[in-house]
Amino acid sequence: MNDIAVIKNTKVKIKDLIIYFYIYAFIGWILEITYAFLIHKQFVNRGFLFGPICPIYGLGAVILILFLGPYKGKAGKEFFYSALAFTIFEYISSYMLEAIFNIRWWDYSNDFMNLQGRVSIAYSIIWGAMGIMLIEGIHPAIEKLLNKIKKHVNINSVLIVTIIILIIDLIFSVMKYVS
């Protein structure tokens, strides 16, 4: 019961998906703070959580890893499905965060072809391009590195610690926004 059957004979270990979530959530946080620094000329923690991760990137990457495998090497389909999946995911995430916390973490209202300021065509194109980069280059390299690391590190211990830290961070972050 450690594997998830995705498509045909493809199986992905749940433990690996959790690790990928953290890796890509951290990479997303780096992208967000870099973007914010370039705009605001100072450090801005753009994530919902106190810690250095943006869960939307981690979960989005895991979704793409699970469902884009059959389209590897087919850039047009990878682009289209990445753009579509992440745009829908971004819209739902924006809606849910605003409904729960009455705060907007991003607003594309001034962007061309936006939908309620939650998504825009420009970012959909970026998500499509990032999906191709993820599936064709970034993820294979991270998967290879993770397989090497797992030979020397007790992944179960790492997962337990990171999950506990995430739960604590989530509790304190929710308290911050609800108070």
Q: Indicate the pLDDT class of residue 92, thresholds 50, 70 and 90.
A: very high
Q: How many residues does the chain have?
A: 179
Print the domain residue range for 103.
Answer: 3-178
At residue 80's C-alpha, the angle toward residues 120 and 14, to 5°, is 100
Give tens-digit pLDDT for 102-120.
Answer: 989 899 999 999 999 999 9
Residue 13 has pLDDT above 90, yes or no: no
Written as six digits, the tokens of 99 are 């409904």
Average pLDDT over residues 68-78: 91
pLDDT level of residue 47 (50, 70, 90 thresholds): confident
What average pLDDT score do residues 144-153 get? 93
Q: Reply yes or no on whether the pLDDT at 5 is more than 50.
A: no
Residue position matching structure tokens 């211990």:
157
The yes-or-no verdict on residue 2 having pLDDT over 70 is: no
| pTM, rounded to two decimals | 0.87
Alpha carbon distance 77, 54 (integer Å):
26
pLDDT, position 177: 84
- Residue 3: per-residue pLDDT: 53
Q: In whole angstroms, what is the distance from residue 32 CA to residue 35 CA?
A: 5
Angle at 103 between CA 31 and CA 29, to 5 degrees: 15
- Whether 78 and 68 have beta carbons less than 8 Å apart is answered as yes
Number of domains within the chain: 1
Residue 7: predicted pLDDT: 43
Question: With bands split at pLDDT 50, 70 and 90, how would you rate the model's confidence at 9?
Answer: very low
